[in-house]
Structure formats: structure tokens, C-alpha cells
Structure 1
């Protein structure tokens, strides 16, 4: 069975008194467009990861559902608790609520669909990932809601035709897939630092920059990198109702996924199948070139204003 893995992430620290708007959310100019995009309200983002602490005070109001594709907790499909902390952190960057405590995410009014494909050992299968993508593609909420975007901050080394087919089916239904580039980089313009599904042209592949807007030395480089976003010392939600700083392209990707959720509302008058192209065009036109090779930064740093 082909395996997928959580991308190796550096744990920096637990934060007892977090800043409300993390620097990464500010760096991509998310607060400047919250008003005109209603904070992403009306959109559902599928977080395909290690699960989530669903009762975290900064997340529980935005979680609309979920499914466990792993054998954790005796395979209980309704229990998608996050033993790794990875998925909870990713979810917070995308859609932590703007409330009286903790942090706020890029799209604070978005709904989150938690799809657990990686178990407590940090391992999953291509089969789990494909099933989760298909689940997200066909999912309908209690009021007929549909998924607008998927965040995949994990991957595997093998190209798989069934995985690619699932990505294409989602795209045809107007669902944008955002994936982390991976943390095996050596900061050279090589083409072999490739993980799937990030390497597919139809997926928005995201590398990482640090607070000084330098490419993270861990960030994979390849010809399919589309954008970079903050990925070093990223503050977000963490299990046991805490907050933590983590580093990795896993932390960069959800900044872009949150941005996609905001932009969906800027183009909501369009047919959903046409929105992905308009969103990618917007991100490309507004991206800020940082002066690095395109294999490292793609079109540049994501900017929303």
C-alpha cells in the first residue's frame, strides 16, 4: 500500500498569550479584504490532514462536519481527533474565528470540513487521500453547502493516476486544491524535490518564506511551485485548546487556502466551475515577486490587496 506522510514540521513553541492576528495573516493582507469578502462566509474548506480538535474555542464555531478515514479510535468515522496537532494548526490558519480569545485565521468566517487521512503515527495511504478528495467533491452540507477549496499539507513521492483523476474531478466542480510543496528542499533550482499531489499543474503548490521574506531553506523547489506564503514560526491553534508556533510548507499552504476562500466571495456571481481560473489569475496578478528563482517562489508572495 502506497503511503502518504505529514510533511516534516518544526515545532517551535507553545504560546500562552498569542497575538490576535498572526504575522502571516497580516503579511498576505487578509485583514484588508475581510470587509468586501465577508471573511469567507458561505464557503467550505476541506482540511485533509491529521484531524482536528473540534472543540477548540477558536475553531468549534466554524467546523461544519468531518470524517475519519484512518483506523484511529477503532475506525470510528465520526471521530476525527487530531493526535499529531498538525491538522488543528492548519485549520486555525485557514479559519480560526475572530472572537474574544486566541488567534484569527485568514478567512475567519469560513466553514471547515475536517477529513482525517493521517493516523496518530503520522502515516496515511494514497487510498485514504483519494477517498477524502472524492468525499469532499461530493459532500453536501445541511443547507446544501458545497466545498470551495481543499487544503492538503501532506503528500507522497509517487504519481498516482487515481489521485490525479480525483483532483481533476474536484476542479471540474469548481473546487480548488492547495498543497504544500514539501520540506525536503536544499534551496537549489532542482526539479527532483517533488511530492504529490502538489506537483500536479491543476494544484496550487505553495512554498514557504520566513518573516524576512527569504525562502525557507527547507522549502522544496521545482517547476510547479506557484506561490510562496509565510511558513516560519507560524502561530495558530493547537490541541488541548492551546496555541503553538510551527514551521514548514504545511504552514504556508493554509494561508493560500484561506485566501482562496476569501476570493471565492469576490467572484461569487460567476458559475462555480469558472471561479478557479479567476482566483488563480487574481493571485498571479497580485503576487509580489521576491527576486528568487521561479522554481523557489513561483509567481511570488501571495497578496490579497
Structure 2
């Protein structure tokens, strides 16, 4: 990998059938929050990834905006369609809408800001990711909405100072940054494997667990991992209005991003104030 390049956290498994459809959204207790009336309403999550299939029936109503930071589509900044599938899968886990068919995300009424920083091969420059983070910080929606969560299912093995500075700026602007720990694990939780931005202290770093609540053998472990979430055989939206089952810490990360959207809605309603980054995470 080039030193100025960032890649998707590698996908371990891809299945196009519904035979291994995951109930991971229910496993993390999302339905309990839905029954209380919390579905992520008015919370914007920025997804920095390969883009999104913007007309997918389970996602389209929740996309509030987007931007293309890659050279794909001739560099047209207004076209942020997914050319890989990864970003669409992640978006569905976060905010697949309740429409009576397909999949439902953790926060089915959250809004998605789609920031395409990676190409069809799942790679892109760190500069593109940094630009996308700054864009998310400065973005304002049509009703003056702002980004509350940035979800990053990507990583590089080399820490980059510009990437770290962008993360710090996001946190200073009351945005929680959630990132995958990586899939370089060796099955030994006593050894450390690092991917960035996940391993930056300011980031909520997410590892993967299986259906038995055991840490996935591939999941990176280190002292900065904050949470583990379902990451094996996760069923979600994909290209061409289809669905797929993927495995990896890339899939665990959006479970946490969606869960944070639910908590922001709930506790800001209960406390009648905007929570800061530390209040939300603690």
C-alpha cells in the first residue's frame, strides 16, 4: 500500500443469497429503542466510503446529500454513486428505512450524508478522506442540519498527521467519529494490531464479534478498541437494488454509528439540550 493511500477494511466474505441473513440489528437491541419511539430522527450520519447506490429502495429516502472526492465519474462532485458495493452495504446497516421489504438499519430514520472518498477498488488517497472529514464538519443541511456522527469503515496501517488533525477537528466540533479496528487480527486478543484512524485515541474504534459474542478471529485488537459489534455474515443493501452478506469490522462499525444516532435522539429529547461528544460516548 502506498503511504498516501487508504483502503477499505478488507471484506472477508461475500454471499449474494439470503440464506445467511443476519438479525444483527435486533441482536444489538435496536428494536427496543424503536418501540420507545427512537429511530434516529433528525440525526445526520456522514458515511465516508465508496459512495452509495442512491436509488436503492431501502436507502434513498434517507440520503440528505453527498459529494464525490474521487476521480470517478470524471471527478464530478455531484455524482457519488457506489462503484464497489461496500459503501451501500454500510449505509444500509446504519439507516436502511422501514418500508415493509428488504432490510432495516439500526437507525431507520437517520439521515445519510454520502461522501465518496474511495473508488471501485476500495482504495483512495488519505487526502480525499481528510477532505471528506472537513466537508462533513462544515456541511449544513437544507434545514440547517449538521453532521453528528462520521462513520469510517476504512483504514491504513500508517498514522497520518493530517488525518489525525481532521479527526481532532471533528471531535472539537461535537462530532463523534466511529471507525473500524481492522481485519489483521491473529486470533490472540493479547497481541495488538493497528489501523488508522481507528487507533487514534479520539476515535470510537470498533472491533467485530460473532453470533456467540466472541471476538472474531480476524478482528484487530489493541488498547484503543472501545466497542465490539456484530461483524460476521451481516446482511444488508448492495448494488443494483440487491442485497449481500459481508463479513468484517467494516460491518461492525455502522452498527455502532447507527446505535449512536438512536442515543443522540433519545437523550437530547429527554434532557432537552444538545449533547456534546463526551456526554454521548460516556
TM-score (norm 2): 0.94
Q: Are the structure 2 counterparts of residues 215 and 189 from structure 1 closer, same or farther at C-alpha, using a change threshold of 3 Å?
A: closer
In the alignment, does 2:7 pair up with 1:5?
A: yes
Quote the offset at 1:202 in angstroms. 1.0
User: How far is the alpha carbon of 1:205 from its aligned partner?
Assistant: 0.4
Q: What's the offset of the Cα at 1:17? A: 8.3
> Could you tell me how far 1:279 is from its partner in structure 2?
2.1
What SS does the aligned partner of 2:39 have? helix
What's the counterpart of residue 154 of structure 2? 154
| Correspondence for 2:111 | 111
Q: RMSD of aligned C-alpha atoms?
A: 1.6
> For the residues of structure 1 that align with 2:78 and 2:211, how far apart are their CA atoms?
38
Match of 1:14?
A: 16
Which residue number corresponds to residue 46 of structure 1? 46
* 8 Å CA contact retained: 1:210, 1:230: yes
Secondary structure of 2:263's match? helix
Aligned to 1:277: 278
Instruction: Name the residue aligned to 1:206.
Output: 206
CA distance in 1, matches of 2:191, 2:28: 27
* Post-superposition CA distance 1:270-293 (Å, at most 9, x none): 654x43212211xxxxxxxxxxxx
Secondary structure at the counterpart of residue 109 of structure 2: coil
1:289 aligns with none
Post-superposition CA distance 1:213-240 (Å, at most 9, x none): 1211100011101010000000100010
The answer to whether 1:259 aligns with 2:249 is no
1:97-246 equivalences in 2 (<5 Å): 97-190=97-190, 192-246=192-246
Match of 1:293 in 2: none
Measure the CA separation in 1 of the matches of 2:18 and 2:155: 31
Partner of 1:87: 87
CA contact (8 A) 2:148 2:176 kept: yes
SS in 2 for 1:89: helix
Unaligned ranges ≥5, structure 2:
none
- Measure how far apart 1:13 and its partner are: 1.2
| Whole-angstrom CA distance in 2 between matches of 1:73 and 1:238 | 19
1:133-179: CA deviation from partner (whole Å, max 9, x where unpaired): 00000000011000010100001112122211111111111110000
Q: Deviations along 1:8-49, whole A, 9 cap, x unmatched?
A: 102331135896xx4110111011012435300000000000
Distance 1:108 1:250 in 2: 19
Q: What residue in structure 1 maps to residue 67 of structure 2?
A: 67
Are the counterparts in 1 of residues 20 and 233 from structure 2 also a CA contact under 8 Å? Answer: no
Residue by residue, what CA displacement relative to the aligned partner does 1:181-230 show, whole Å, maximum 9, x if unpaired?
00010022355410111001111000001112121110001110101000
Shift in Å, 1:120? 1.2
Contact 1:264 1:275 in 2 (8 A): no
8 Å contact from structure 1 (residues 18, 102) kept in 2? no
Aligned with 2:108: secondary structure? coil
Partners of 2:117 and 2:206 lie apart in 1 by 20
- Cα separation, 2, equivalents of 1:35 and 1:96: 17
For structure 1, the residue ranges without an aligned partner over 5 or more in a row are: 282-305
Paired positions, count: 278
